[in-house]
Structure 1
């Protein structure tokens, strides 16, 4: 069961939400500010944050620059335009306070299922980046060339070095990455973004941070604002 990190500067409201979550067999972790949460910076789970000011938007931006976690925002009687704006910024879902156990359980179960794959991918990516950090500059260069040029002879011609030198670096980097084949090494490079694929993906028109489970609700809200 994933943890839910409850961020709210109102102690009474924060305690009430934590009791509600605990009653649903969901483990809550209370924080009185976004800064306190980011200092702790959990590795997995959900963030349930009270929406006020620009805090939610700043939180999403900081999470995108570091360790990403899905954010669920809440407030008293939020305006539709505010919900749309929050979800456009990357908030996964938006619920109204006071929360009911039924409502939150429904949103939680949808998100928990929708983001399971994303969490697994994130963990693989983190592990891959740590492994790539152990490589020397030349080893990283050759690993990148393995995707574009393939053979050691082709890489050697591209870099202007001997095939034997390429083979030595290939053997070293594969040992550091604990793999036996070039395909396995390239997979780690892709998962660790050694080829700069993240920057390419970020230019796509679709907002990849948009809450998967709430996509239909988001489209409905956009139509309401536009009407």
Structure 2
């Protein structure tokens, strides 16, 4: 049997580290924990590919900065970002920087396990990337002009109120368009929707 893919947990909060170590270890993953991004980067040259879970708000090297430093190796180390609040612009910045996903704290075990499972699968799915691009572009092509306008606003990290003001429509109308976009794009979450849009140039 092949050795399980390693999961590297980076968080300056010891409670969160221990929680994730226990959760992922019980699920059969090989787990390594680091109290800082610097500690992980020091070990990186000796590591084989694996999934990374990092907190976004850390002293010295933040999760966003880690993503930037890991740009050349994100295909080998898909990174999941933990954020302490529903900060959509920050989450969008993480996705634009190459994050595989973002998870809001407090998180549920199933959410973490699903995200890690998806990230591990990404390590062996690169050959399917082109077909995904085509699929997402076709879904975007099926949106109305106004729905694409709303999607652009979401990708930019704008709030519903900001999008409504820019498009001169009500926030409620934006919510309706956003719901339609989620259905047409077959996205189960905001992070998935933004990732779909970022993977295609269909919004140009």
Q: Give the TM-score band, short-chain normalised.
A: 0.5 to 0.7
Q: 1:12 aligns with which of 3, 10, 15?
A: 15
Q: 1:55 aligns with which of 44, 62, 70?
A: 62
Q: 1:37 aligns with which of 37, 40, 43?
A: 40
**CA displacement at 1:78 relative to structure 2:** 2.9
Structure 2 counterparts to residues 132-211 of structure 1, below 5 A: none
- CA change 1:81–1:220 in 2 (3 A) is farther
- Of 96-105 and 58-67, the range deviating more from structure 2: 58-67
Distance 1:62 1:8 in 2: 17
Query: 1:71 aligned to 2:79?
Result: yes
**CA displacement at 1:218 relative to structure 2:** 1.7
**CA displacement at 1:52 relative to structure 2:** 0.9
The unaligned stretches of length 5 or more in structure 2 are 128-188, 199-204
Q: 2:93 aligns with which of 85, 100, 104?
A: 85
Residue 144 of structure 2 is matched in structure 1 by: none
- Once superposed, what is the RMSD of the aligned Cα atoms? 2.9
Distance 2:107 2:116 in 1: 12
- Which aligned runs of 4 or more in structure 1 are off by greater than 6 angstroms? none
TM-score (normalised: structure 1):
0.50
Distance 2:40 2:195 in 1: 30
The unaligned stretches of length 5 or more in structure 1 are 120-213, 223-227
Residue 46 of structure 1 is matched in structure 2 by: 51
Note if contact 1:46-1:69 (Cα within 8 Å) is conserved in structure 2.
yes
TM-score (normalised: structure 2):
0.55
Residues 72-128 of structure 1: per-residue CA shift (max 9 Å, x gap): 000222311111111011111101223322112222222222321449xxxxxxxxx
Note if contact 1:80-1:221 (Cα within 8 Å) is conserved in structure 2.
no
